[in-house]
Amino acid sequence: MPKYTTKKAAAAKRRQKTVTKSISRDKRVLKHWAASGTERDFQRLRAAATKFKDKAPDYVLPGVMEQLENINRRRLVEAIHADGNTSNDNNFFTNALAWLSHIMPTKGWSWATDLTKNSMMGHKGDAMTEQDEDYAKLIDATYRDDRPEYMEHWQRLVQYDSNYLSVWQNRDGHVYIACRGTKMDLRDLIEDMEIMFTGDVAVDEIRDELQRILKDVSPDVIVDAGAHSLGTTLLLKAYDSTPSIKNRIRRTFLYNPAASAISDAEGVGNVTEKFEKDNTMRYFVNLSDPISVGMLGTDGPVNAVFRTGSPLHPMTNHGIASWYPGTYDQLHKIQMDLENTDANPFTGVPGQLATSAVDPSGARFTINFGEDDWLNDFETGIGGIGAEFVEQFNVPPVMRPARKAGPGQMGTQHPGFIHHMETGDL
């Protein structure tokens, strides 16, 4: 028997298709849109859901409309994250959101109109600067048991090392205080549990260390600070208890800030939310990160970078390495055995950070051309230069090639040549 569809049913199907396709199905786009809403936007969205719920068509489920009546920032991101798949058939929440956005008045309401505009635009994400990435790298180095003395163009000031903190200084004399997050030890895990239930920690772990560091810094030195995960709570705990610490720091960079949805729901709040209206505090939030989900119940930070990440790898989304390109092993690092003293490694003055650039001689800062074995190839290449060439062009000893090794022998190297290559004296 042939199947027939009435004109009325066919028209309803066409309307459903038009409505459900009026907003993006890309969860990255929808999550970014959800995170950008203000409390006033969510009030209007909840009011619209209450007003129009009785007019909802069959494909909009009553339970989903009830969700929209009680929606807030965090719940909206979570609902989008959990909704169906790429097929329209079981994207019940997205379909209801599309229908509501289609029927409610949106004139003069930019957040609501952005929802339909985003369906015509590709996902762009939020911009990261090189400074953002550099600071994430330095925090990653601070996690390490074997923290490098040099990380790209930054030197670690070893006398300020502690369990959670490392202090780094670049050639312009700028200072960056890095605070790591959770390691798999009992102390850190207990503090994580405190944050889960209270949104804060009881002990002001790093306040005294920060005061000591800032006391040593000359007033004309620029100081930034950054932290990851648990470290964001420790850093902001110190800011909250001692405002003079925050006042001395120019900008603060908070990667995957620790925020508990439990403490937020109970009205306790999170210490990481106290500073979100301060433009000098830069938040880096991954919308698929379960540790930062508590940040999404309020208006949100005024200075923020949002990423969506992968719903299949929530803890990868939480890693500090997700905020810079490549891997930690690929970063240019120098490991040395430096004595941890109270004196500044460059000025030699105990308890005083240099106001000039790190390592004024520049001897330790070399150009890195990557791990392509260029130097060995170069020495091998010039190994065939004859004595006549050396004498004719008066090649200095430090530039003369290594003697080729015979069978079973090791070739001789020229330490002077290597030294001059590293220090830039050639």
Burial of residue 180, with CB atoms counted within 10 A of its CB: 0-12 exposed, 13-18 middle, 19 or more buried: buried
On whether the CB atoms of residues 191 and 201 are closer than 8 A, the answer is yes
- The answer to whether residue 349 sits within a structural domain is no
Query: Terminus-to-terminus CA distance in the chain, angstroms?
Result: 90
Beta strand pairing status for 223-228 and 333-334? Answer: unpaired
Same domain, 93 and 55: yes
307 pairs with which residues across the strands? 286
Q: Which helix (H) or strand (E) holds 227?
A: strand 223-228
Does 419 have pLDDT greater than 50?
no
pLDDT tens, position by position, 36-75: 888 899 999 999 999 999 999 999 999 999 999 999 888 8
What is the band of 320 on the pLDDT scale with cuts at 50, 70, 90? Answer: very high
- Backbone dihedral angles phi then psi of residue 372, each to the nearest 5 degrees: -105, 10
On whether the CB atoms of residues 309 and 302 are closer than 8 A, the answer is no
Same domain, 185 and 251: yes
What is the band of 370 on the pLDDT scale with cuts at 50, 70, 90? Answer: very low
Same domain, 302 and 406: no
When the pLDDT of each residue in the chain is averaged and rounded to a whole number, the result is 76
Burial of residue 37, with CB atoms counted within 10 A of its CB: 0-12 exposed, 13-18 middle, 19 or more buried: buried
Distance (Å) of CA 155 to CA 126, 172, 334, 364? 29, 11, 9, 10
- The answer to whether residue 51 sits within a structural domain is yes
How far is Cα 141 from Cα 178, in angstroms, rounded to an integer?
Answer: 9
pLDDT tens, position by position, 256-302: 988 766 666 555 667 778 898 899 999 998 877 665 555 555 567 88
Tokens, residue 332: 């240019």
Same domain, 181 and 305: yes
Q: Looking at residue 188, what is its pLDDT?
A: 80
As a whole number of Å, the CA-based R_g of the chain is 29
Find the helix packing angle between 92-103 and 110-117, rounded to 10°: 120
* 364 Cβ neighbours under 8 A, 6+ residues apart: 150, 155, 334
283 pairs with which residues across the strands? 254, 304
Sheet containing 281-286, strands listed edge to edge, beginning at the edge strand earlier in sequence? 304-307, 281-286, 252-255, 223-228, 175-179, 165-170, 154-156, 150-151, 333-334
Residue 401 belongs to domain spanning = 374-423
Same domain, 116 and 150: no
Tokens, residue 404: 């080729």
As a whole number, mean pLDDT of residues 330-340 equals 74
Same domain, 88 and 141: no
The amino acid present at 145, given as its one-letter code, is: D
- The answer to whether residue 179 sits within a structural domain is yes
Catalogue the E-assigned strands of 258-366.
281-286, 304-307, 333-334
Lowest mean pLDDT among 119-128, 222-231, 233-242, 353-362: 353-362
Domain boundary among 269, 303, 334: 334
Lowest mean pLDDT among 94-98, 261-265, 300-304, 377-381: 377-381
- The answer to whether residue 72 sits within a structural domain is yes
As a whole number, mean pLDDT of residues 140-168 equals 95
Same domain, 18 and 146: no
Q: How many domains does the chain have?
A: 3
Q: Which of 20, 83, 4 is nearest to 57 (CA)?
A: 20
Same domain, 71 and 201: no
Place of tokens 């990255």: 28
Domain boundary among 54, 86, 120: 120
Domain boundary among 63, 93, 120: 120
- The answer to whether residue 85 sits within a structural domain is yes
Same domain, 69 and 191: no
The amino acid present at 287, given as its one-letter code, is: L
Q: How many other CB atoms sit within 10 Å of the CB of residue 77?
A: 27
More confidently predicted of 268 and 113? 113
* 360 Cβ neighbours under 8 A, 6+ residues apart: 346
Q: Which of 311, 284, 300 is nearest to 127 (CA)?
A: 284
On whether the CB atoms of residues 207 and 214 are closer than 8 A, the answer is no
- The answer to whether residue 356 sits within a structural domain is no
Q: How many other CB atoms sit within 10 Å of the CB of residue 80?
A: 21
Q: Find the DSSP H helices in 53-126.
A: 62-69, 73-82, 92-103, 110-117
- The answer to whether residue 361 sits within a structural domain is no
Same domain, 112 and 216: no
Q: Looking at residue 296, what is its pLDDT?
A: 53
Same domain, 63 and 134: no
Same domain, 382 and 404: yes
pLDDT tens, position by position, 219-254: 989 999 999 999 999 999 999 999 999 999 999 999
* 19 Cβ neighbours under 8 A, 6+ residues apart: 95, 98, 99, 102
Burial of residue 388, with CB atoms counted within 10 A of its CB: 0-12 exposed, 13-18 middle, 19 or more buried: exposed
- The answer to whether residue 358 sits within a structural domain is no
CATH number of the CATH domain containing 204: 3.40.50
As a whole number, mean pLDDT of residues 295-312 equals 69
